[in-house]
């Protein structure tokens, strides 16, 4: 349970609304957190999660799914079993640690997750979590490529590592990394790098991943392929973050989600 409106579930719901969609949340864990610290993660009983999913699929018609923290180990199979009946894209935002490095998934749970990594259309992961799942440090973009390959070898068909600012090569670490926010995509054969200017002063905003992944799902629902959908989603969230940075009003987070409603131009996407 995050106290800030732009954290976790709230950010997903606001991003979905900005895209004229309706979010149907399913609670798998109660996360006791705030001010960048996770105090505890209380898993919702597996049967309760299953009941939520059964009710959702009986009473609503979801068209896509974004999966975050799954919770208890037995819940992993129940979640992915239910998602088999979904006629739409699934993005799994694999999260194994909190903002300060706290564990939010036990080792047994991670092993269960790895067994189902082949099922989502895309597995997306923060660089810090990618290092844990791949079992290696990621100090450079070269290392991120190796980590993406390792995650793919564990079953993921498509991997997106949200790298942030990162030196290109291991031997570049002594200098300042390029002033770009990087996302590395691997489709099992080839890499694609999505970059946007790194914007300072946004440390208190926590809706960026929702601003990337919900537009991505939106574009995938239209039948767009993963790589162009990622490119458009990256352009969309970049414009929203730029508007947030430039906003001098009392509610810049509202500006972020309002800007997210706007379809980026091709020039903005390619910028």
**Inter-CA distances, 43 with 48, 56, 130, Å:** 10, 19, 22
| For residue 28, pLDDT beyond 70 | yes
Query: Residue 9: helix, strand or coil by DSSP?
Result: helix
Distances (CA, A) of 183 to 163, 201, 250: 5, 20, 30
The percentage of residues in the chain with a pLDDT greater than 90, rounded to a whole number, is 65
Give the torsion sign (CA, 129, 133, 134, 137).
Answer: positive
Quote the pLDDT of residue 29: 86
Q: Can you list the domains of the chain with their CATH numbers?
A: 8-224 (3.40.1190.20)
- Residues facing 43 on adjacent strands: 29
What pLDDT sits at residue 270? Answer: 53
- Tell me: the pLDDT tens digits for 105-160? 889 999 999 999 999 999 999 999 999 999 999 999 999 999 999 999 999 999 99
pLDDT tens, position by position, 63-85: 999 999 998 999 999 999 999 99
């Amino acid at each position: 349970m995050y106290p800030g409106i732009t954290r976790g579930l709230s950010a997903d719901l606001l991003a979905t609304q900005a895209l004229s969609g309706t979010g149907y949340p399913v609670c798998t864990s109660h996360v006791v957190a705030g001010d960048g610290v996770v105090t505890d993660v209380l898993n919702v009983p597996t049967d309760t999660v299953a009941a939520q999913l059964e009710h959702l699929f009986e009473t609503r018609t979801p068209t896509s799914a974004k999966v975050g923290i799954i919770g208890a180990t037995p819940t992993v199979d129940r979640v992915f079993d239910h998602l088999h009946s979904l006629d739409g894209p699934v993005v799994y935002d694999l999260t194994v640690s909190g903002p300060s490095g706290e564990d939010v998934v036990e080792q047994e749970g991670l092993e269960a997750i790895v067994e189902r990594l082949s099922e989502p259309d895309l597995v997306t992961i923060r660089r810090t979590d990618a290092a844990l799942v791949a079992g290696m440090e990621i100090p450079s973009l070269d290392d991120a490529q190796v980590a993406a390959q390792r995650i793919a070898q564990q079953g993921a068909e498509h991997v997106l590592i949200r790298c942030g600012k990162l030196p290109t090569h291991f031997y570049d670490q002594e200098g300042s990394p390029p002033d770009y926010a990087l996302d590395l995509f691997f489709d099992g054969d080839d890499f694609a790098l999505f970059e946007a200017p790194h914007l300072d002063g946004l440390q208190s905003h926590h809706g960026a991943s929702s601003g990337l992944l919900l537009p991505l799902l939106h574009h995938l629902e239209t039948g767009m392929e993963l790589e162009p959908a990622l490119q458009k989603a990256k352009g969309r969230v970049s414009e929203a973050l730029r508007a947030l940075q430039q906003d001098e009003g009392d509610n810049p987070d509202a500006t972020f989600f309002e800007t997210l409603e706007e379809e980026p131009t091709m020039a903005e996407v390619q910028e």
